[in-house]
Structure 1
Amino acid sequence: MSISDELDPKPILGRTVVHEGYVFDLVDDRVDLGKAGVVHREYIDHPGAVAVIVLNNDDEVLLVRQYRHPVRAFLWEPPAGLLDIAGEPAQIGAARELYEEADLRARTWSVLTDYFTTPGGNNEAIRIFLARDVEEVPVGERHEREHEELDMETRWVPLGECVDLVLGGHIHNPSAVVGILAAHAAKAKGWDTLRSVDAPWPYRRTAPLTSQV
């Protein structure tokens, strides 16, 4: 038997929005688990996101340093952002984030891996892309940053050194941890594991992951 996660929505008998936020909501679902009965599950209802592991010709990874208030820390991360435009292809969203956060465009795109950030309390699904053959955006065409993105520091770090930083506990952002280790593993396999940018992604939250009855 092969090992693969399985999308299997259970019926929602009712939903209460506990808190409606700017980006995501806190919801309370009454879920019918069959023999296990009906249970309440509170979780964050999130639109999903993309992240980009950018590799240059020297096998260096682009990292950006961004302040994350919930953890009160500056974290080194890959360019990333929300999938909050209805119907937008994930790769287009990723390219926009690369342009806005790093002043870069890439000619070669692949899907590196997909994951859930916190499936016990959050339905945020993230797709991580690998971007290569990059070039800088001309100064006159660059995005004007604001808020946390203003004056973000960027750094090119060798892929092998990034792996050591992850394993040594120096990098904590989940997309950085997952993406760096996935890129290292994919490179070791000759990049044969990469998928096309339009590879199926059934876990993307285009609609609630569970069906309401």
Structure 2
Amino acid sequence: MTSIHPTITPSQLVDDYTPAPVVRSDVVYEGRVWDVVQEEADLGDAGRVTRDFVRHPGAVAVLAMRGEPGAEEVLVIRQYRHPIGAQEWEIPAGLLDVDGEPPHEAALRELYEEADLRAGRLDLLIDYASSPGGLSEQLRVFLARDLTDVSEDDRFEREEEELDMPTGWARLDDVVDAALAGRLHNPTLLMSCLAARAARDAGWAPLRAPDTPWSVHPAFAPKQ
């Protein structure tokens, strides 16, 4: 057994969101959805560092699930992502760009708009920071069950890249197998399905309430 690294206890397994003091902050590129900023941060004894990153409003995603225990299926959608030049299998997701809209309501809206589904039950599945080395995005994923189809005359009219997106049901275990085999690459799809299988194997006990406070997102952190 190696001994040069200390043992981390369960109570220590929590990220410490204590931002370093920002000495300077400039917008170096103003985009349609998000900006690129350059900030100089004071790290104390480690000195000052300058970092460029994308300032992102955050997003939500929703893993829609149906089926019998042990044979669950999840809804996947196929969408073209130009930065990587790929048609990816994903799950419904969207930006937190509606003022005052709680994250769990945004997730239900995305499920309606992208998948023509409504959920009778919604649970919080997992939170994650998409790419903390260069992107400020925080993303929250919900698990939607007890699903019903939206009637044809009440469906959202999709456009642009969301128009005619292929959709379908895939077995949860098949998605996990495909992820582990390197055939799927979308991080939200991978993390949500791996988390869902882990939660399922634990009898769904790890799931949290959909309106659980989101303390790491500056727009939704509890007010002091």
Give the TM-score, by structure 1 length: 0.95
Deviating 4+ runs (over 2 angstroms): none
Larger radius of gyration: 2
How far apart, CA to CA, are the structure 1 residues paired with 2:186 and 2:217? Answer: 20
Structure 2 gaps, min length 5: 1-8
Partner of 2:143: 130
Partner of 1:202: 215
Partner of 2:195: 182
Name whichever of 188-197 and 167-176 sits farther off.
167-176
Q: Which has the higher contact order (CA 8 A, sep 6+)?
A: 1
Name whichever of 100-109 and 5-14 sits farther off.
5-14
Q: Secondary structure at the match of 1:55?
A: strand
Shift of 1:169: 1.1
Where do 1:35-114 residues align within 5 Å?
A: 35-58=45-68, 59-114=72-127
Shift of 1:92: 0.6
Shift of 1:57: 2.7
Shift of 1:86: 2.4
Shift of 1:63: 0.1
Q: Secondary structure at the match of 1:93?
A: helix
**For residue 32 of structure 1, what is the amino acid of its counterpart?**
D
Where do 1:148-159 residues align within 5 Å?
A: 148-159=161-172
RMSD across aligned positions (CA): 1.1
Q: Secondary structure at the match of 1:44?
A: strand
Shift of 1:107: 0.7
Of 11, 20, 24, the residue aligned with 1:10 is: 20
Partner of 1:191: 204
**For residue 47 of structure 1, what is the amino acid of its counterpart?**
P
Q: 1:64 to 1:205 in 2, by over 3 A?
A: farther
How far apart, CA to CA, are the structure 2 residues paired with 1:138 and 1:205? Answer: 37
Percentage of matched positions with identical amino acids: 50
Q: For this pair of structures, how many residues does the alignment match?
A: 207
How far apart, CA to CA, are the structure 2 residues paired with 1:87 and 1:205? Answer: 13
Shift of 1:34: 1.1
